[in-house]
Amino acid sequence: MVLLVAAVAALLLLALGVVRLVRSGAGDKEVQTLVATREVDVSQLPGAQSESAIAIDPRRPNILVAGSNDLRTNRMAVYSSTDGGRNWSASHLSPPTGVALCGMSDPSVGIDDRGRQYYAFVGLRCISGRLRSLGLYVARRAGASKPWKTLQRPVAHSDQLTLGDDHPTLLVDNVPGSPRRGRLYLGWTRFSVNPAALSDPENTNFIGARALVSYSDNGGRRWSPPYSLSSRGAPLEVRLAAGPSGALYATWRDSKTDVVYLARSPDGATFQSQAFVAGAVVLAGRSCHHFRARIPAQPRRCVAPNPVVSVDTSSGSHRGRVYVTYGSTALNRSQDVYVAAFQPDLRPLVRFPKPVSPAEGFRGPDQFLPASALDPRTGALWVCYYQSFGLRRRRARYVCTVSNDGGKNWTRPHVDAHVLSNETGRLAARADGYGDYEGVAALAGVAHAIWTDGRDLRRRGEEIYTAVLTEGTG
């Protein structure tokens, strides 16, 4: 059975690579161009920042909230803009009152249709300076000018040190007509590790893992008991999206079998159907940390497929269509970014997922750490990712592209970061690199990309940058 699965995965990888290398440009006519503002350093904090997230107020597109790790302080950095991303203010979240957190990480942000802002993260709880447990916490504020408060009650926590909650993804159901409009969802992985991993992450051994989901109908004050999305293999990198009629979609990656999955819940509480998205996303000869791919631009932390699910909730012809964006290894052994499309009931729309960047030769660049967002007003699908540069492929820049026809055609990738980053040099935070994920949010024909940038390592270290992109014609 193991050999059969491996053979099927290899054939799928081969098919993906062939599609990547020989696809014709006849059907890929560029129908749009992208226009972007100059990139903005939104963090301007000393030391390294990483792993960014961003959200737009669904009522007022000029209101934005974003976040990142601040590796120097081990706190969550929060960034705010009230003028559509031209200017930003930076601050830090405070821990819950009476709770001693010795570290915070893994930001995820959202804004509901009443203007309330939310920020989810992992909190490391310490007693007498010693790590005791991990928990998921949510901070909230009533509006862009209001103060933040981190809620004292965690969404979920574990009293056992070898059980960890990782990589929370926060979702606000803002879909018009949804019976669960305003509900908050949180998805994450709870895993058991060998005790050695607590002091040596290089030796991490997953003993068991579950993908979990919880929801709140009162603004995050109380959460439902976590329910299992998947316990197959080692589910990691959980992402959520809301669809029409209150449906909830989730994607994740099983790191033991190298398969990306997609699931649908009609009621937001029970997942009744599941679909295979892609397999063989990391080649065995290039894997590191058991579930990432080693590339020249991020050789120590490596890169994960980072699947992201997006649902078209616009009033256009593709309403209800579901997209999964993810990174995978192509036939030329470089990393590429693919998009798989599904009907609302998870029936696949194409046999093989399609890469979003132009066709390339056998020594093409790496495209990695993808992020995607669906514009709920226009139905446009935005995809952003890092692209390596040069013969050695050590330097990288952040780029974005957009499709307005359901993922069939894409604009030529637009360079957001006009200065290259190099996370392999002596001054870089090489163990963290670019992190594990970046972000993009879109509304009313405008997208806001956010990423970790290492252009000024000597003076500032890794910073968080943004750029505002709009759709043009030509």
pLDDT tens string 290-304: 678 899 999 999 999
pLDDT band of 256, cuts 50, 70, 90: confident
Which whole number is the average pLDDT over 10-24? Answer: 37
- Say if residues 377 and 334 touch (Cβ distance below 8 Å): no
Residue 39 is which amino acid?
A: E
- Higher pLDDT: 291 or 311? It is 311
Residue carrying the six token digits 């031209």: 86
pLDDT band of 8, cuts 50, 70, 90: very low
Q: Kindly tell me if the per-residue pLDDT of 20 is higher than 60.
A: no
- Say if residues 398 and 40 touch (Cβ distance below 8 Å): no
**The pair of three-digit structure tokens given for residue 83, joined into one six-digit string:** 């003028």
Instruction: Note down the domain range covering 251.
Output: 2-473
Distances (CA, A) of 390 to 128, 291, 364, 395, 416: 49, 26, 10, 7, 17
If one counts the domains in the chain, the total is: 1
pLDDT confidence of residue 122 = 94
Around 383, how many Cα atoms within 13 Å sit in the side-chain half-sphere?
36
Residue 435's contacts (CB-CB under 8 Å, 6 or more residues apart) are 50, 51, 52, 69, 301, 369, 452
Q: Kindly tell me if the per-residue pLDDT of 10 is higher than 50.
A: no
Task: DSSP for 379-437, please give it.
Answer: --EEEEEEEEESTT--EEEEEEEEESSTTS--PPPEES-SS-EETTSTTS-TTTTT-S-
pLDDT confidence of residue 3 = 34
CATH number at residue 455: 2.120.10.10
pLDDT band of 163, cuts 50, 70, 90: low
- Higher pLDDT: 36 or 307? It is 307
pLDDT tens-digit series, residues 48-74: 999 999 999 999 999 999 999 999 999
Q: Can you say whether the dihedral through the CA atoms of 203, 385, 9, 253 is positive or negative?
A: positive
Question: SS3 of 176, please?
Answer: coil
pLDDT confidence of residue 287 = 76
Backbone angles phi, psi at 176, to 5 degrees: -60, 135
Task: DSSP for 114-126, please give it.
Answer: TS-EEEEEEEEEE
pLDDT confidence of residue 82 = 97
pLDDT confidence of residue 384 = 98
Distances (CA, A) of 455 to 394, 396, 398, 420, 435: 13, 10, 12, 6, 15
Residue 167 is which amino acid?
A: H
Q: Is 222 exposed, middle or buried (0-12, 13-18, 19+ CB in 10 A)?
A: exposed
Q: Kindly tell me if the per-residue pLDDT of 285 is higher than 80.
A: no
Q: Residue 14 belongs to what H/E stretch?
A: helix 2-22
pLDDT tens-digit series, residues 126-135: 877 777 778 8
Which whole number is the average pLDDT over 187-212? Answer: 68
pLDDT confidence of residue 360 = 76
- Higher pLDDT: 442 or 99? It is 442
- Higher pLDDT: 20 or 466? It is 466
Around 409, how many Cα atoms within 13 Å sit in the side-chain half-sphere?
12
In this prediction the pTM is: 0.90
Which whole number is the average pLDDT over 446-468? Answer: 96
Distances (CA, A) of 233 to 4, 192, 236, 257, 454: 17, 12, 10, 7, 35
Q: Which residues of 352-361 are buried (b: 16+ CB within 10 A; e: fewer)?
A: ebbbbbeebe
pLDDT band of 187, cuts 50, 70, 90: very high
Which whole number is the average pLDDT over 83-111? Answer: 94
pLDDT band of 205, cuts 50, 70, 90: low
pLDDT band of 85, cuts 50, 70, 90: very high
pLDDT tens-digit series, residues 332-363: 788 999 999 999 999 999 888 888 988 777 77
pLDDT confidence of residue 38 = 84
Q: Which residues pair with 323 in a beta bridge?
A: 310, 341
pLDDT confidence of residue 9 = 41
